[in-house]
Structure 1
Amino acid sequence: MHSNILLLITAAIWGFAFVFQRTGMEHVGPFTFNAARFALGTLSLIPVWWWLSSRSAQASSSKVFYYGAIAGTFLFAGSTLQQVGIQYTTAGKAGFITGLYIVIVPIIALLFGQYTRKETWVGCAFALVGLYLLSVTDDLTIEYGDTLVLIGAIFWAGHVLIIAKYSPKVSAIALSVVQFAVCAALSLVVALFTEEIKTDNILLAGESILFTGLISVGVAYTLQVIAQQNAHPAHAAIILSLEALFAAVGGWMLLNEVLTTKAIIGCTLMLLGMVISQIKLFKIPSKIGEKPTIS
């Protein structure tokens, strides 16, 4: 129950963060924005890391940095595609499309020879129909921003799998600090070559950077790592999928975003698909030598 509450808080923070990610783009470029917010998230957790490491034995630094570098690279790819794409779509749509990583996770597991439940395919069908209604235009092309966010969802799925694999092996805070630092560094390198970085513009985007850096990065991502140490993977996926709903609510409340009836139906089908992919509707056959399922 404790882990589920943490995951619900995480989903709410991430959902409303889409609003600030959009408003931040009014003043700075996507790479500058990500570099600033992930650097802020890193700095906010260093004192906590130091305090916890002084009170308990931690995993070897080599493992923390190795795992963190892998997680940070996937975090960079996902956050970059999301941040660039959100300039060309709404906060609500970006939230629902990003949430597709819930369905993508078990599909990726197929590449490793692991069984994927029937519910996943049913959920995927609902999600694809919903994506069509939400993002495909009248000339049967998917909007540019939605395409970038959709590709980013694949990297978010990879990030979830990596966190699930490594978070039980090392300090959650240490893993968070390292992955944030890696993401910030990669974003800064790209920003230096592709964007004009001005202090005045960063200050104008200060409110958005503070929320997404301290709350969305420093607090929410860390809550995710801590919660996933004990939460059931399927339960975690369902709760985190509510991020999409919070994003739509945040876009409506703070940005006056309004979804068309077609888009609302699409969002409903996508959310339904995310939930169906994580619950058991069909009896799973039990055969000798059958590989375990991935929720």
Structure 2
Amino acid sequence: MKKRGAEKSMNDKKKAFLADCALVLAAICWGGGFIAGDIAVQHFSTFYILATRFLAAAIIMFIFFGRIIRRCGKAEIKSGLILGTLFFLVMPLQVIALKYTTPSKQAFLLAGYAAMVPFISWIVLKNRPKINAFIAGVLVMIGIGLISLNGSLSMELGDSLSLGFSFSYAVFVVLTGIFAGKCNPIGMSFFSYLSTGVFSLIVALLFEDVPTVFPPAGVMSLAYLAIINTAVAYTLQNVAQKYTTDTHTAILLSTESLFAFIFGVCFYGDPFTPQILIGGLIVFSAVIISEIKWKKRPKETAEVESCPPQTQQKN
């Protein structure tokens, strides 16, 4: 029995480690996705971008996991529809925001969702966050202020939209954690992509002009968003959340801001200012602090240390 228990513990640790690797890989993919998104909005309208991105991701998922998807039931369809509808409602915020801010700046603003997740989880799941989560929340507000507030202490439109998406994505992370533990995450991912894509296509056909020009840069950016950012990265997140907590997921995924900042400054010419860098480091520090686990001394040890020397000798 002990041997089986040890094997199970080792297996769980291995799954948790692989889940962490998957989440970091997803963060790297999303780091480049901010640049791809910024290029895409220069050539295509918002809902055509979303329709192409998510429908293409759904097709890719079906090609590789069609057998799993065909065996899915009501749980996967329902969970995917809920997540897909939420994404359809909030994804335009991120896409539109890129018209009014830089990719690296938006990445730092979106990283704030990592500090929001514990509080949303508290409201939804009744899991009270620890004191470090409160400290992290204050630091995130300070960091976001440095990044987004200009000289007149006003926030630009792109920053406001990015923060709105950040809060919405924190809700998305908590819901994904709930659903991933109750159904097949592959099937859930497929139906979420499909519903987001279908809803976006309907809105695009009704209210936006059909694209007539397809420049190579725009097409490549859409391909990156569909394949790397969605089919690969979001699926990695959905599967990984089956083996880790919501807060831990948010911490690792928020490192996308660091990768986006590096990619944006090095390869895309994003501005590098001390204020943005300091604000980004504060946000990143808040993310790390929110995950620190403070060790408590064992009760027995504390009692022994608190006893007078004479009492210890008598015992």
Scaled by the length of structure 2, the TM-score of the pair is 0.84
Aligned equivalent of 2:79: 67
Aligned equivalent of 2:210: 197
Q: Find 1:153's aligned residue among 160, 166, 184.
A: 166
Q: Find 1:118's aligned residue among 90, 110, 131.
A: 131
Larger Rg: 2
Percent identity over the alignment is 27
Aligned equivalent of 2:300: none
Matched, 1:231 2:244: yes
**Higher relative contact order (Cα pairs below 8 Å, separated by 6+ residues):** 1
Aligned equivalent of 2:26: 10
Q: CA deviation at 1:138?
A: 1.4
Amino acid aligned to 1:85: A
Aligned equivalent of 2:231: 218
- Shifted more, 147-156 versus 200-209: the winner is 200-209
Contact 2:34 2:103 in 1 (8 A): yes
- How many residue pairs are counted as aligned between the two chains? 281
Residues 59 and 213 of structure 1: CA distance in aligned 2, closer, same or farther (over 3 Å): closer
Contact 2:55 2:194 in 1 (8 A): yes
Aligned equivalent of 1:44: 60
Look up the SS of the partner of 1:87 in the other structure. Answer: coil
Contact 1:77 1:155 in 2 (8 A): no
Matches within 5 A, 1:71-82: 71-82=83-94
Matched, 1:85 2:122: no
Matched, 1:24 2:24: no
Q: Find 1:263's aligned residue among 260, 276, 280.
A: 276
Matches within 5 A, 1:87-106: 87-106=99-118
- Shifted more, 139-148 versus 42-51: the winner is 42-51
Residues 3 and 110 of structure 1: CA distance in aligned 2, closer, same or farther (over 3 Å): closer
Look up the SS of the partner of 1:88 in the other structure. Answer: coil
Amino acid aligned to 1:14: W
Aligned equivalent of 1:245: 258
C-alpha distance after superposition, 1:140-174 (max 9, x if no partner):
11110010010011110111011100112222211
Q: CA deviation at 1:235?
A: 3.1
Q: CA deviation at 1:59?
A: 4.8
Q: CA deviation at 1:234?
A: 3.6
- Shifted more, 25-34 versus 187-196: the winner is 187-196
Q: CA deviation at 1:195?
A: 1.9
Matches within 5 A, 1:131-146: 131-146=144-159
Amino acid aligned to 2:153: L
C-alpha distance after superposition, 1:221-247 (max 9, x if no partner):
111111111124443222111011011
Look up the SS of the partner of 2:99 in the other structure. Answer: helix
Residues 36 and 66 of structure 1: CA distance in aligned 2, closer, same or farther (over 3 Å): same
Amino acid aligned to 2:23: L
Structure 1 distance, partners of 2:187, 2:69, is 9
Runs of 4+ in 1 over 4 A off after TM superposition: none
Structure 1 distance, partners of 2:69, 2:200, is 28
Look up the SS of the partner of 1:10 in the other structure. Answer: helix
Matches within 5 A, 1:155-170: 155-170=168-183
Structure 1 distance, partners of 2:252, 2:212, is 38
Q: CA deviation at 1:204?
A: 5.6
